[in-house]
Structure 1
Amino acid sequence: MLRAFINFVLFSSIFIAICAIIMTWQTNEILQLRYDAIDYYRFVFFATLCSYNFHWYLTPANLDASHRIQWGIGKRRLQLAFTAIGAIGSAYFILPLLQHWLPILGAIVLTFLYSAPKLPQTIFHHLRKIAVGKTLFLTFVWTYVTTVLPALIDGHAPVITTVLLSLHRFAFIYAICILFDWRDKVPDKAAGIRSLITYLDDKHLFQLYYLSLAVAGLAALCMLFFDVSIMVVLTFIVPCFVVGFLKGYAQRHTNDYVYYFLLDGLMMLSGLLHLLLFL
């Protein structure tokens, strides 16, 4: 029963939706944003639930399908239901923020573009050939929704701190995405989905991985010069080291629990550490 519950929370994308909320909360705290945050948290939760279940619903099974895909194949109706619930919930909770419709529309379009190559219509198949699309789309969407969009909605966020936080988030999430894409390189090539990752050999790929973590760490350190406390900055630095040391482990253990719990969960580790500072 415990394993079934864990699978449900992970593979129904409830877990990753919680990660998104924690990251958004941390953005609000660091940038001292004052807007309708509660409705935005609800929007982020339901939008994440919708987009991820839609994405996995479109993912076909094969002989080498991962445990997550196999779980989803047996629960198509649940994925469709969560897609619908997520769409309805996100549409409802974004209503109080509709005066900011343009930046919100940008998030919706980018999120759709990530899953669009999986649609059966021929017009969407061309998106598979965009050389850097898969990884950068996903990284940018996460950075935009959890960092940039809240600052745009508030309208009074400190510009330089927002840029540094966004740079940190982008570089940090990109490093995690590199590990996912390394694991999925072979099936991605077979499916005709191209990304920067599929073009690089492992040596250059992991040079990019460590460079991304270095940029993330440097951006975090620079926030010290813009009224962000050293304790908060350390909450960003610690996950960078953890992800750096986990590369070998993630390469040796490619099961879905390592990737969708441990690596995905590391995206919110900084926010959880930050939350501890308030206790």
Structure 2
Amino acid sequence: MVRSLFNFFLFSSVYISLCAVMMIWQTNQLLDLEYDQTTFYLFVFFSTICSYNFHWYLTPNTYSGSERLHWGDRHRNMMLVFFVIGMLGAIYFFWQLRAHWLAVSGSVVLTFLYSAPKIPHPTFRWLSKIAIGKTLFLTGVWTYVTTLLPALVANTPFRESVVLLVVHRFALIYAICILFDYRDLESDKKEGIRTLITYLDEPMLNKLYYFSLLLAAIFAGLMGPFISFPAVITLMIPVLITALLTRKAQHSHADYLYYFVLDGLMALSAVIHFLILLA
């Protein structure tokens, strides 16, 4: 029963939706943003539920080793229900944020572009031919929604601290996405989706991966003048853990490693930050 509940929490995309909310909470804390935060949290939560269940509903169970694909195959109706609930919630809270419709619409477009290649129609399948598209779309939408969009909604997008945090988040998420590309190599080839790992040779890809981690660490350090020292450390911790997990991630297809640990690393600094404030 415990495993079933955990699989529901993880594979229904409730977990990744909470990760998104935590990352936005940390953005608000680090950048001292003032706006209707609760409405924005709920918009992102329901939007993430909607987009991820839409994505996985369109993903066929063709790779028998995946626990997540098996779960999705058994719970397709549930994913459809979550997609509808998420869509309705997202529309409702989007209306509450309509004063910022242009900035918020950017997140909708980016999210759609990530899943669009899975739609069985020629109009969308061409997106799968774009080199490194999947990685950039996913990194872009996570960085935009969790870091830049809150600053845009709060009408403070061009401060130095915003730029530094955006680059830090982008670099960390990009490195994590490269690890997912390693894992998805065979499935992407079968679906005709071009990613970094199918476009670059392995030495060049490793250089790009470690450069992204280095960039994430450097820009976390550059946040020093704007945030407390413990906050800087919280930004550094997931960068270090990601580096330490590199070899294991490159040689493992374990769903729990990717969808719980690696996805969770995006929000780990936020969780640690929250615990520090509680202490």
Q: Provide the TM-score with structure 1 as the length reference.
A: 0.97
Q: Which amino acid aligns with 2:122?
A: T
What is the CA–CA distance in structure 1 between the aligned matches of 2:177 and 2:52, rounded to whole Å?
15
CA distance in 2, matches of 1:158, 1:34: 15
Counterpart-to-counterpart distance in 2, 1:96 and 1:122: 35
Instruction: Report matched runs for 1:53-202 at 5 Å.
Output: 53-64=53-64, 66-156=66-156, 159-202=159-202
- CA distance in 1: counterparts of 2:211 and 2:21, whole angstroms: 27
2:232 corresponds in structure 1 to 233
Counterpart of 1:263 in structure 2 is: 262
- Map Cα deviations across residues 18-73 of structure 1 (whole Å, 9 max, x no partner): 10000000000111011000010011110000000000000012154511011101
SS of the aligned residue for 2:97 comes to helix
CA deviation string 1:85-127 (max 9, x = no partner):
0000111122221010001111101100100000011111110
Deviates more, 1:157-166 or 1:147-156: 157-166
Contact 2:55/2:115 (8 A) holds in 1: yes
User: Any unmatched runs of 5+ in structure 1?
Assistant: none
Match of 1:274 in 2: 273
Q: Please tell me the residue identity of whatever aligns with 1:268.
A: A
Distance 1:255 1:130 in 2: 27
Map of 1:206 onto structure 2: 206
What is the CA–CA distance in structure 2 between the aligned matches of 1:150 and 1:63, rounded to whole Å?
A: 37
Identical positions, percent = 53
Measure how far apart 1:231 and its partner are.
1.1
SS in 2 for 1:277: helix
* Residue 277 of structure 1, CA deviation: 2.0
- 1:144–1:4 CA distance, 2 compared to 1 (3 A): same
Q: For 1:167 and 1:117, how far apart are their aligned partners in 2?
A: 27
Q: Summarize deviations over 1:197-245 as a string: whole Å, max 9, x none.
A: 21122222222111100000111111113x2111111111111111000
SS in 1 for 2:277: coil
Instruction: Tell whether the 8 Å contact from 2:178 to 2:209 is kept in structure 1 after alignment.
Output: yes
What displacement does 1:157 show? Answer: 5.0
Instruction: Measure the CA separation in 1 of the matches of 2:241 and 2:63.
Output: 33
Q: Residue type of the partner of 1:51?
A: S
What does residue 30 of structure 1 align with? 30
Distance 1:110 1:63 in 2: 27
Residue type at the aligned position of 1:73: D
Once the 2 structures are TM-superposed, how far is the Cα of residue 134 of structure 1 from its aligned partner?
0.3
The alignment status of 1:251 with 2:250, answered yes or no, reads yes
8 Å Cα contact 1:31/1:158 also seen in 2 = no
Q: Deviations over 1:176-203 (max 9, x none)?
A: 1011110101110121101222112222
Distance between the aligned counterparts of 1:10 and 1:203, measured in 2?
33
Give matches, 1:2-17, under 5 Å: 2-17=2-17
C-alpha distance in 2, partners of 1:149/1:251? 32
Distance of 1:114 and 1:52 partners within structure 2: 10
* 1:224 corresponding residue in structure 2: 224
Residue type of the alignment partner of 1:251: Q
CA distance in 1, matches of 2:98, 2:256: 37
- What corresponds to 2:21 in structure 1? 21
Deviation larger for 150-159 or 17-26: 150-159
Partner Cα distance (1:125, 1:147) in 2:
29
Contact between 1:33 and 1:157, CA under 8 Å: does it hold in 2?
A: no
State the 1:252 CA deviation: 3.3
Q: Is the 8 A contact 1:151 1:162 kept in 2?
A: yes
Secondary structure of the residue aligned to 1:156 is: coil
